[in-house]
């Protein structure tokens, strides 16, 4: 009488033989299954390699651009752009660009005459429209004559952007009162920062 273990061993052996018989009787099915398994493994490995080699989209965040310029340029009684005092930034999507600037301004002041300079950041080299972001530099007529009256003017202005694109911002100014050839831009430093929505 065979033992329980002997019976289990003979059943295991018969299962192995059945599998071998099936493989021999259907060799194409067995080979196709192996090939499909191998293809699945290759695709999985390629997917992992591609995931590590090719980066995904850049994470949303801020982008910064800056530029500075120096040297005297006369500020006229009409809107005057300070050549070179501009900064361009590429927005990847809709958002807000905040532009800050410090602008060195020199005024040739004469006693008895009021001087007023208006300094702006704009999206055009010909725009000097007064807004809530316009900086004013005033020298009252009562001050003594000073051909070298210098001031550093701070500016800060946000601009909405509706989609991707490059935008350029300009420092412009106008002498609204007391204009003469001694009134000038002396320097400008601009920083533009894009913030996504």
Confidence at residue 97, expressed as pLDDT on a 0 to 100 scale = 96
Q: Read off the tokens for 122.
A: 């704009």
The residue ranges of every structural domain in the chain are: 4-53, 63-196
Closest CA to 102 of 90, 119, 123, 117: 119
Closest to 105 (Cα-Cα) out of 115, 113, 95: 115
CA dihedral 117, 123, 125, 130 (to 10 degrees): -30
- Class of residue 125 by CB neighbours under 10 A (exposed 0-12, middle 13-18, buried 19+): middle
User: Are residues 71 and 166 in contact, defined by beta-carbon separation less than 8 angstroms?
Assistant: no
For 182, phi then psi, to 5°, come to -90, -5
Judged by DSSP in three states, 26 sits in: coil
* pTM (2 d.p.): 0.69
pLDDT in tens, the chain (197 residues): 445 555 545 555 555 666 555 555 555 666 676 777 777 777 777 666 666 666 555 445 779 999 999 999 999 999 999 999 999 999 999 999 999 999 999 999 999 999 999 999 999 999 999 999 999 999 999 999 999 899 999 999 999 999 999 999 999 999 999 999 999 999 999 999 999 98
First to last CA, the chain: 83
Say which CATH topology domain 63-196 has. Answer: Jelly Rolls (2.60.120)
pLDDT at 13: 59
SS3 65: strand
Q: What is the pLDDT of residue 59?
A: 46
* Residues whose CB is less than 8 angstroms from the CB of residue 147 and which lie 6 or more positions away in sequence, other chains included: 108, 109, 182
Residue 63 CB contacts under 8 Å (≥ 6 apart), including other chains: 89, 90, 91, 92, 193, 194
pLDDT at 39: 76
CA atoms within 13 A on the CB side of 49: 6
């Amino acid at each position: 009488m065979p033992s329980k273990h002997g019976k289990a061993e003979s059943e295991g052996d018969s299962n192995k033989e059945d599998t071998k018989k099936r493989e021999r009787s259907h060799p194409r099915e067995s080979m196709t299954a192996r090939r499909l398994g191998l293809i699945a493994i290759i695709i999985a490995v390629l997917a992992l390699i591609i995931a590590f080699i090719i980066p995904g989209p850049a994470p949303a965040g801020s982008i910064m651009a800056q530029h500075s310029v120096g040297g005297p340029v006369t500020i006229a009684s009409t809107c005057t752009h300070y050549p070179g005092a501009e900064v361009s930034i590429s927005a990847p999507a809709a958002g807000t660009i905040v532009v800050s600037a410090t602008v060195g301004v020199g005024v040739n002041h004469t006693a008895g005459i009021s001087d007023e300079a208006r300094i702006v950041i704009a999206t055009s080299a010909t725009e000097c429209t007064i807004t809530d972001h316009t900086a004013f530099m005033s020298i009252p007529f009562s001050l003594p004559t000073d051909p070298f009256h210098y001031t550093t003017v701070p500016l800060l202005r946000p601009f909405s952007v509706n989609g991707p694109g490059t935008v350029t911002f300009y420092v412009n100014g106008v002498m609204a009162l007391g204009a003469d050839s001694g009134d000038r831009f002396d320097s400008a430093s601009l920083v533009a920062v894009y913030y996504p929505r």
